[in-house]
Amino acid sequence: MTTGKEKGTSGRGQRELRVRVKTAKGRKLSSTLWLERQLNDPYVQRAKREGYRGRAAYKILELDDKYGFLRPGARVVDLGCAPGGWCQVAVARVNALGDNPKKPVGRVLGVDLQEVEPIAGAEIHQLDFLSDEADEKVKGWLGGRADVVMSDMAAAASGHKGTDHLRIIALVEAALAFAFDVLEDDGTFVAKVLAGGAENEMQALLKRNFRKVANVKPPASRSDSSEKFVVAMGFRGRQHQGGEDELSGD
């Protein structure tokens, strides 16, 4: 395991090894700092070693390690799946490739506005999940309802904390409305939110419709990031919620 300390030294002789990036001509300081952070991020380095498409893969790994919703045989929908790290994790966890013949084979369906490079064991579709009939298309592709709907989507940052919070809550609400339409009873909804968790109304909505709701920050989420994740388990079924009207306030 990488310790961040130079091998072959001990005690006061130890010093942290850190890559420093010089600011190139024409490159903004913010870009240089981002590049330096990426080069020194242990999760970025680990993702490269282990073949994941990004460090975000470890967020869903850690969430699933804690809550165990990606079970063999599960049908999973990943909203906004690019670049594909969450799909990669789901494929292995639900046994989508059938690597373990003693366990049921799951399904992983990824959707995104942009084209995504193929992922072994996952079915990827270029689709706007907000479009009409998107839920019916997904259920058709899956051959039924989903056991898990998950989303690592984030709205483009404006630089204004309050605005960004409202934007991402709106995105989570849209993902939740989609989940209400496609989730199987007892299913799980996982989505990125900002610090403080979901807004009060949404938190109440989640608690009415799921048996267990947690707002957590996995270790892979950077400490200076305001993101957290809501994990809602045990979907009670559509008979326990007001459908689109409850989410829209109409």
Binding-site residue set for S-adenosyl-L-methionine: 84, 86, 112, 128, 152
Phi, psi at 200, each rounded to 5°: -55, -45
Active site residue 22: no
Q: What are phi and psi of 222, to 5 degrees?
A: -60, 140
Query: In whole angstroms, what is the distance from residue 218 CA to residue 125 CA?
Result: 28
- Amino acid of residue 217: K
User: Residue 53, Cβ neighbours under 10 Å: how many?
Assistant: 18
Most distant pair of Cα atoms in the chain: their distance? 66
Structure tokens at 119: 């992922």
**Contact assessment for residue 226 and residue 204, using Cβ atoms and an 8 Å cutoff:** no
Catalytic residue from among 139, 192, 217, 228: 192
Binding residues: 84, 86, 112, 128, 152
Torsion angle of C-alpha atoms 117, 57, 72, 70, degrees rounded to 10: -120
8 A C-beta contact, residue 187 and residue 235:
yes
Q: Which residue has the tokens 């919620």?
A: 241
d(CA 247, CA 238): 13
Residues annotated catalytic, as ranges: 192
